[in-house]
Structure 1
Amino acid sequence: MESRRERQRAATVDEITRTARRILVEAGPEAVTLRAIAREMGMTAPGLYRYFASHGDLLRHLVGVLFGEITAALEAGMARAAKGDHGGKFLAVARAFRRWCLAHPREFSLLFGAPLPSLDDEGDLDFADQCGREFAWTFVRLFVDLWRKQPFPVPADEELDPSLRAQLTRYRDDVLGVDLPLGVMQLFLQCWVRLQGAISLEAFGHLNFALDDPEPLFELMLAELCGLLNLEYEPPAG
């Protein structure tokens, strides 16, 4: 059982995090400073160091919280798909990811835009790293499950570009630690690049020059990805 002091500390950390997020949403990532947060909370900036070792530490905690929120949204979307409906799960996760990102453009920018200097990775896994990996593994597990239960066509390992083959081997063995053909890893990354790329273009307003509503184009991309994965595409309800 947590002590009263531990509960008070957790409540203060939560308030600091919520305040940082509110400033992020209202003014952008550059405005999320210790001084601004302290001012909003009626504290002194040095007082925040009792809870976070640095500005970067605070931002990384916020990053972890946001990754946790996205992961929960993805899992909730996946849970609504029928059991055994691999296509439904894939589409639910992709659409849930897009919905969250478009509903939270400032948060999306912090997570997937240009890295802030104070968010440089110092090598040790921390809260942000762990939450980021849990987010990534939502997609990885979905892809692995699909491959094992409903395999899709992929190139043989020897057909891959030698340089790409070496990089995919390192990513598979050292980062993910999964037992999959390299062709599956290549297709996983191809799908991820297209998914995040399409969402990024829309979230950052880079499709406004041509489209008022990019959703139909996004759905066309999902239909193409379903074709690559031997999944049945179903348009969104309504």
Structure 2
Amino acid sequence: MKSRRDRLREATVQEITQTARRILVEQGPEAVTLRAIAREMGMTAPALYRYFGSHQELLRHVVGDIFADLTAALKAGLHEVPENDMNGKFLAAARTFRRWAFTHRPEYGLLFGAPMPGVGDQREQADFAEENARRFGMTFLTLFLELWGKCPFDVLPDEDIEPRLREQLRRYRDLGLAGADLPLGVIQVFLQCWVRLQGAVSLEVFGHLDFALDDPEPMFELMLTELAPVLGLEYEPPASYARDETGGGEP
């Protein structure tokens, strides 16, 4: 059982984190300073150092909190789908990720804009940010491995993968995250899918499709129609894309 002192400390850390996140959303990342957070909380900036050793440590904690929120949203979306519906799970994960990104643009920018120093590194002892980043990544990887286990799709033999890429894939597999016996072609497909998914979402969130599209959702759904067959799945359009009797799309 935690002591009262520990509970108070945890509550203060959580309040600091939420205050920093609110400033991030309302004013942007440059405004997330120890002085600004202290002012919001009625504290002095030096008092914050009893909870976080540096501004960088605080930002990493905020990153971890956001990753935890995103992971919870993904798991909630997957929970809505029947256990053996792999089509539904694939589409739910992709669409939930995109929806979360659009409703949390500043947070998404902090996670997937300029990389935070150290996030993604393989450390002997992961900190809060790194641990939650890994949990987020494992949510997608676990779903992908479940798909491969239940309905294996076509992949390149190891010897047919471009040599430089093959060695990098082997190094990633050797980390033990994806299974030591997994064909390298499976890992290649996983990364190809992630590049397509995260790249499409980032282009939208950061406004890099605004020059041509004011509603990029159909383009995102088109990307899913291309990814689904790669994974041996069938694309199922959302209800808003229902077709009329002539085969034409409804707005």
Q: How big is each residue's C-alpha offset from its partner over 1:110-162, in whole Å with a ceiling of 9 and x where there is no partner?
A: 00101356979694410111100000000101111111110111111110001
**TM-score (ref. length: structure 2):** 0.91
Shift of 1:2: 2.1
**What number of residue pairs does the alignment pair up?**
238
Shift of 1:177: 4.6
**TM-score (ref. length: structure 1):** 0.96
Change (3 A) 1:133 1:160: same
User: Is 1:11–2:32 an aligned residue pair?
Assistant: no
Change (3 A) 1:190 1:119: closer
Distance 1:189 1:47 in 2: 43
Corresponding residue SS for 2:81:
coil
User: Is 1:181–2:183 an aligned residue pair?
Assistant: yes
Distance 2:168 2:94 in 1: 25
User: Is 1:217–2:237 an aligned residue pair?
Assistant: no
Contact 1:64–1:129, Cα closer than 8 Å, also in 2 = yes
The residue type paired with residue 75 of structure 2 is E
Contact 2:141–2:178, Cα closer than 8 Å, also in 1 = no
Aligned to 1:196: 198
Shift of 1:27: 1.4
Distance 1:164 1:69 in 2: 32
Contact 2:119–2:130, Cα closer than 8 Å, also in 1 = no
Aligned to 2:165: 164
- Structure 1 unmatched ranges of 5 or more: none
Structure with the largest fraction of helix:
1
Corresponding residue SS for 2:197:
helix
Contact 1:23–1:31, Cα closer than 8 Å, also in 2 = yes
Contact 1:59–1:119, Cα closer than 8 Å, also in 2 = no
The residue type paired with residue 128 of structure 1 is A
Change (3 A) 1:231 1:119: closer
Change (3 A) 1:221 1:118: closer
Aligned to 1:59: 59
The residue type paired with residue 15 of structure 1 is E
Moved more, 47-56 or 3-12: 3-12
Q: Aligned-pair RMSD on alpha carbons?
A: 1.6
Change (3 A) 1:212 1:63: same
Residue correspondence of structure 1 range 25-104 to structure 2 within 5 A: 25-104=25-104
Distance 2:118 2:71 in 1: 24
Aligned to 1:129: 130
Structure 1 runs of 4+ aligned residues shifted over 4 Å read: 116-124
Higher relative contact order (CA 8 A, sep 6+): 1
Q: How big is each residue's C-alpha offset from its partner over 1:75-127, in whole Å with a ceiling of 9 and x where there is no partner?
A: 11111111211110010011000011110110001001013569796944101
Shift of 1:175: 5.4
2:234 to 223, 232, 235: 232
Identity level (%): 66
Contact 1:55–1:118, Cα closer than 8 Å, also in 2 = no
Contact 1:60–1:127, Cα closer than 8 Å, also in 2 = yes
Distance 1:121 1:140 in 2: 17
Distance 1:18 1:237 in 2: 36
Shift of 1:237: 2.6
- Structure 2 unmatched ranges of 5 or more: 241-251
